């Protein structure tokens, strides 16, 4: 997926999600400061997307609907969205992926029906996702810095490697004691 990079890092009870701001159309940069992450449910859930902008907006709306249907239960809402995404004809053509997180769990959701929880506290998607994930995993294992700082530094590293990821990084954080 040549679209963006989203990285989510969890340590202790804190979780941070970061996204770059680049929007491309083919090999042309259209926008540098797009916001691809957002908080939901009064700041209790974080979400980020990689893929087509219109498709991602559709998925954000549908995910919020699923959260309402499942009383804010993240895993149930994610599974319901993945099921619809896999089975509904209109959704099957969407080209995007999502990461969602709350105080307890981080999940990656894909159109193939995957709802995956990472083994470690890191999940990343998009064109620079593997770079960001590798950097975040190393920082998580070998430093004591916050999830927010790990996510930001990992995205910076990804932006230096992936041409579809820029350094206009936005980060949202859920704190354990907030």
pLDDT digits (tens, 9 = 90+) for 134-176: 999 999 999 999 999 999 999 999 999 999 999 999 999 999 8
112 is catalytic: no
Ramachandran angles phi, psi of 73, nearest 5° = -75, 110
Give the pLDDT of residue 6: 97
Ramachandran angles phi, psi of 54, nearest 5° = -65, -40
Contact 133, 151 (CB under 8 A): no
Number of compact structural domains in the chain = 1
Q: Among the options 4, 5, 165, 173, which is catalytic?
A: 4
150, part of any domain: yes
pLDDT band at 3 (very low <50, low <70, confident <90, very high): low
Percent with pLDDT over 90 in the chain: 69
Give the pLDDT of residue 178: 65
Contact 5, 160 (CB under 8 A): no
Which CATH number fits the domain that encloses residue 74?
3.60.20.10
151, part of any domain: yes
Q: What is the pLDDT of residues 119-130, one digit of tens each?
A: 889 999 999 999
178, part of any domain: no
Strands 14-19 and 106-110: unpaired
Q: What is the pLDDT of residues 39-76, one digit of tens each?
A: 999 999 999 998 877 777 888 899 999 999 999 999 99
Range of the domain at 124: 5-173
């Amino acid at each position: 997926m040549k679209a963006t990079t989203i990285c989510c890092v969890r340590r202790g009870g804190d979780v941070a999600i970061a996204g770059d701001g680049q929007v491309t159309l083919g090999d042309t940069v259209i926008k540098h400061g797009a916001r691809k992450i957002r908080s939901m449910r009064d700041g209790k859930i974080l979400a980020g997307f990689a893929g087509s902008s219109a498709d991602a907006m559709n998925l954000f709306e549908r995910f919020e609907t699923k959260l309402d249907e499942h009383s804010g239960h993240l895993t149930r809402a994610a599974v319901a969205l993945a099921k619809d995404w896999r089975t509904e004809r209109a959704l099957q053509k969407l080209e995007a992926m999502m990461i969602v997180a709350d105080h307890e769990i981080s999940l990656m959701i894909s159109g193939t029906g995957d709802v995956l929880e990472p083994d470690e506290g890191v999940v990343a998607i998009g064109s620079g996702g593997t770079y960001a994930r590798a950097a975040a995993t190393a920082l998580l294992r070998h430093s004591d810095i916050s999830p927010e700082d790990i996510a930001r530094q990992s995205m910076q590293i990804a932006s230096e490697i992936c041409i579809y990821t820029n350094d206009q990084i936005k980060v949202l954080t859920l704190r354990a004691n907030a």
